[in-house]
Amino acid sequence: MCGTSDERLLCKEGVNGMIIPQTPIAVDHWKMTPMSPARVFFLSHMHEDHMKGLTPTWRHKIHCSPLTKRLLIDKFQFDPSQVVELEPGEDHLVSVTDSETSSFRMTVSVIDAAHCPGSVMFIFQGYFGKIFYTGDFRFSSEIMDNLPANYTTDVDVLYLDNTFCSPNCVFPTRAAATEEIIKAIEQSSDAAKILIGVRNLGKETLLMEIAKRFQCWIQVTERRLEMINLLNLPNYFQTGSESRIEAVPMDQIKSSYMKNHPEMMAILPTALYIEHPHAFTACKNISLVPYSDHSSYAELHEFVAMVRPRKVVPIVGEKSRGVFGGSVCHRADMSCFDRYCDKSPGVQIEIPDNVRNVMKRGLDHSSRLNRFKFKRNLQQMNPRRQRPKKMVFDAATPEKNQSDCTVAIATPASPSSKLNCSVIVDRCWVHQKCRLNAPKTKLTKYSVIKSNKFIRQTPIPQTEL
Ligand SMILES: [Zn+2]
Ligand SMILES: [Zn+2]
């Protein structure tokens, strides 16, 4: 069964996280608005598309795996007391309202997602029933073996990593893809420099396997070595001195670059181009191998058939774009899983009053600053309040005998632009007679402040505009 359009809209382009409807739970969702009901925050793993909006200025507690906690603290300077570690393979009691004293708690089971170091899946159980949130994951039979001892099916909603949910997404296991990569390196000239395109985090197992097979160091960037040291991995990596095999950022491998370096061979271990098999065929020294940290279409079917949820909701929204900017909305169609879904009626969700109050309360009202921001944001969201209130002259002091002066009318900032004050330049107000049409323009908030001495508090009568 497909997720409702509301649920899909929560998953905006480029942001693979969401607030679970009728709960204060947010997973990989860090965009707070004044009316947001989110109060308890979970981070599935440290990939960029799951962290948009998360900065060290974040004020709420973050729940994640111990490894992710270590990376958050060391790489992003988060305060350790702000990050709550949840050990994989265990059940945890977490307050639904993010308050230590709250009696409304849910059980959170944490399972290794086999996607990248520190990545986990969550099973939430509480007044809302049972929710299984996969985050990004690569299915294998071991994943099901790692489920908590008290795990039963009876999942109400499965939030699924649908990155490759298309019948075209057929690719081998990571072990088979590793062999393919080893073979490609073996077939290259001994003198060839091998570049392997990877993201900042992930595919360490592949790199270590290559190092073992070829008995050589893997050259990495300083930044990546710092990350590897935090992961406590065996010593297969080095910076500085030249090594035959080098792990480079994925976007460094481009046809234009590789054509000019025939002495090199590049390997892109990714399934991102699975629906574009001819993406790099024009460039002989780039080898595309579908080594994937996400589940294939067949694996997704196997997984959903085992979980038997009542409903499946895609994590990657239909507005997301593929590698060449093309639409991948077909991958958000979950109707292909209908046949596995449990048709029995699920729980009727009744939100406890305390939880409802906390969800309604809006953002933390403890400081005057927050109250001010809350009120200002509310005003920005309410178009009825966006009437001209002040006037700002965009030129120097208007002179009465000047016939071509222009008048700018400041309106409250629009919801989409918090910093810029939307300003419309209209007809001359000082010289009613001239009625000149000035060109429309926009002034920044700075311009308004600079011209403050010209602000008049009296609203301009609508008839004069
Ligand atoms: Zn990921
Ligand atoms: Zn992702």
Instruction: Give 416-432 pLDDT, tens digit per residue.
Output: 333 333 333 333 333 33
pLDDT score for 290: 96
Same domain, 12 and 144: yes
Domain count, the chain: 3
* pLDDT at position 109 over 50: yes
pLDDT score for 282: 82
Which position has the higher pLDDT, 151 or 404? 151
Same domain, 212 and 163: no
CA of 136 to the centre of ligand 1 (A): 5
pLDDT score for 423: 34
In a domain, 110, yes or no: yes
CA of 296 to the centre of ligand 2 (A): 14
In a domain, 124, yes or no: yes
* pLDDT at position 156 over 50: yes
- In the structure, ligand 2 is a single-atom ion and the residues with CB under 5 Å from it are 16, 49, 136
* pLDDT at position 296 over 60: yes
| Phi, psi (degrees; rounded to nearest 5) at 193 | -80, 130
Q: How far is CA 176 from CA 29, 150, 171, 247, 415, in A?
A: 34, 33, 9, 20, 50
Same domain, 206 and 64: no
CA of 215 to the centre of ligand 2 (A): 32
Please state the ipTM of this predicted complex: 0.99
Q: Which ligand is nearest to the CA of 11?
A: 2
In a domain, 183, yes or no: yes
CA of 123 to the centre of ligand 2 (A): 18
In a domain, 161, yes or no: yes
CA of 25 to the centre of ligand 1 (A): 20
CA of 147 to the centre of ligand 1 (A): 20
C-alpha–C-alpha distance, residues 461 and 465, integer Å = 7
The token pair at 267 is: 């390997």
In a domain, 367, yes or no: no
| Phi, psi (degrees; rounded to nearest 5) at 167 | -55, -20
Same domain, 60 and 164: yes
Asked which of 125-129, 218-222, 460-464 is least confident by mean pLDDT, the reply is 460-464
| Phi, psi (degrees; rounded to nearest 5) at 457 | -75, -20
Model confidence at 98, pLDDT cuts 50, 70, 90, reads low
CA of 3 to the centre of ligand 1 (A): 21
Same domain, 68 and 163: yes
Residue 441 CB neighbours (<10 A):
12
In a domain, 372, yes or no: no
Averaged pLDDT, 394-418: 37
* pLDDT at position 82 over 70: yes
CA atoms within 13 A on the CB side of 316: 21
pLDDT score for 3: 36
pLDDT score for 464: 31
CA of 421 to the centre of ligand 2 (A): 35
pLDDT score for 11: 37
Task: Please say which residue of 289, 318, 348 terminates a domain.
Answer: 289
Same domain, 203 and 118: no
- CATH number of the domain at 220, please: 3.40.50.12650
The full 3-state SS of the chain, as one line of letters, equals: CCCCHHHHHCCCCCCCCEECCCCCEEECCCCCCCCCCCCEEECCCCCHHHCCCCCCCCCCCEEECHHHHHHHHHHHCCCHHHEEECCCCCEEEEECCCCCCCCCEEEEEEEECCCCCCCEEEEEEECCEEEEECCCCCCCHHHHHCCCCCCCCCCCEEEECCCCCCCCCCCCCHHHHHHHHHHHHHHCCCCCEEEEEECCCCCHHHHHHHHHHHCCCEECCHHHHHHHHHCCCCCCEECCCCCCEEEEEHHHCCHHHHHCCCCEEEEEECCCCCCCCCCCCCCCCEEEECCCCCCCHHHHHHHHHHHCCCEEEECCCCCCECCCCCECHHHHCHHHHHHHCCCCCCCCCCCCHHHHHHHHCCCCCCCHHHHHHHHHHHHHHCHHHCCCCEEECCCCCCCCCCCCCCEEEECCCCCCCCCCCCEEEECCCCCCCCCCCCCCCCCCHHHHHHCHHHCECCCCCHHHC
How many residues are there in the chain?
465
CA of 140 to the centre of ligand 2 (A): 18
CA of 346 to the centre of ligand 2 (A): 29
CA of 97 to the centre of ligand 2 (A): 27
Which position has the higher pLDDT, 284 or 161? 161
Which position has the higher pLDDT, 380 or 219? 219
The token pair at 386 is: 């966006």
Amino acid present at 169: C
Task: Please say which residue of 237, 265, 289 terminates a domain.
Answer: 289
Q: Which ligand is nearest to the CA of 49?
A: 2
- State pLDDT tens for residues 302-342: 999 999 999 999 999 888 887 777 888 899 999 999 999 99
Q: Which ligand is nearest to the CA of 14?
A: 2
pLDDT score for 102: 63
Model confidence at 103, pLDDT cuts 50, 70, 90, reads low
CA of 187 to the centre of ligand 2 (A): 33
Q: Which ligand is nearest to the CA of 28?
A: 2
Averaged pLDDT, 353-375: 61
Same domain, 203 and 337: no
- By residue range, what is the domain housing residue 398? 383-464
- CATH number of the domain at 92, please: 3.60.15.10
Q: Which ligand is nearest to the CA of 45?
A: 1
In a domain, 369, yes or no: no
Q: Which ligand is nearest to the CA of 293?
A: 1
CA of 68 to the centre of ligand 1 (A): 12
In a domain, 376, yes or no: no
CA of 116 to the centre of ligand 1 (A): 7
Model confidence at 143, pLDDT cuts 50, 70, 90, reads confident
* Identity of the highest mean pLDDT range in 155-164, 275-284, 376-385, 420-429: 155-164
Same domain, 150 and 197: no
Same domain, 307 and 389: no
Asked which of 58-62, 155-159, 192-196, 356-360 is least confident by mean pLDDT, the reply is 356-360
CA of 271 to the centre of ligand 1 (A): 13
* pLDDT at position 370 over 80: no
**Pairing, β 91-95 against β 62-64:** unpaired
Same domain, 253 and 347: no
Round the average pLDDT of the chain to a whole number and report it: 78
Same domain, 87 and 202: no
Task: Please say which residue of 289, 323, 345 terminates a domain.
Answer: 289
Same domain, 159 and 133: yes
Q: What are the beta bridge partners of residue 160?
A: 314
The token pair at 430 is: 């000082």
C-alpha–C-alpha distance, residues 84 and 172, integer Å = 36
Averaged pLDDT, 130-134: 96
* pLDDT at position 89 over 80: yes
* pLDDT at position 454 over 70: no
